[in-house]
Every structure is written in structure tokens, then in C-alpha cells.
Amino acid sequence: QVQLVESGGGSVQAGGSLRLSCAASGSPYSRRCMGWFRQAPGKEREGVAAIYTFGGNTNYADSAKGRFTISQDNAKNTLYLQMNSLNPEDTAIYYCAAGAAHYGGNCRLGDDLYDYWGQGTQVTVSS
């Protein structure tokens, strides 16, 4: 069992930055896939970024590449998403997720591959 709690969401103007945090508890924080997903009103949930906690390999959605950085602090059992150059299309509820390691340590962005989810944190980007 894993418990995940997101924080760091808020409102920011276009071009600004936010850093989201996800505190994990309940099980060892190692050899897992951790990911950030988001869901905008009326849209399906989509993967943003994922990281393999053991090796540190990352995957990003095309929309996030070059702007977002996923990272971890294993000593604190905390996952981060640094978001720069935000635009209104980034407005969504952002969710932290955890699951078993995927084959080869390549953590994919499919939400069906993750077993544990936080409640989400709202990110609003204004023009």
C-alpha cells in the first residue's frame, strides 16, 4: 500500500513556473515507477512525466519536453515536477502516481500501469 499526497499547485501567469511535490509513504520507495499525470476539464487524463526510482530514467510527454523536469529525493520519499514556461494549456489537476517497475526500468506514461494515486493538486495558468 502506498499513500501519495501532492502539493505545490496554484495560480501562475503564462511564462511562469511552479514546482509540484508528491510525498510518498506506506512502502519502500525503491524500484518503482513514479509519474505525474494531469487532467483538464472535459479531457482524458494524460501522462506528463515518469521516472524509475532506482535508476532514475525518465520519460516525458511531448508537451512537457524542454519545459518540465521530473526528479526525486529518495531520502525524503518525495517526487517533484518542476514546470517552467507554463502556458494556459497546462491548466489541469495534476496527479502523482506510483506503480511497480515496468519492464527494463522504462517507466511508461499509460495511466493503467500505475496502481496508486494521489488526490491531485490544481494548476491554473492565466494569460
Give the pLDDT confidence score for residue 28 in this predicted structure: 66
103 confidence band (pLDDT: 50, 70, 90): confident
> Contact, 80 vs 74, CB < 8 A?
no
Q: Give residue-wise pLDDT tens across range 46-97.
A: 999 999 999 899 999 999 999 999 999 988 999 999 999 999 999 999 999 9
pLDDT at 27 > cutoff 90 = no
**Which candidate, 116, 111, 124, places its Cα nearest to that of 45?**
111
Written as one string, the DSSP assignment of 18-86 is: EEEEEEEESS--SSEEEEEEEE-TTS--EEEEEEETTT--EEE-TTTTTTEEEEEEGGGTEEEEEE-S-
49 within 8 A of 107, measured Cβ to Cβ? no
Average pLDDT over the chain, rounded to an integer? 94
Backbone angles phi, psi at 66, to 5 degrees: 85, -10
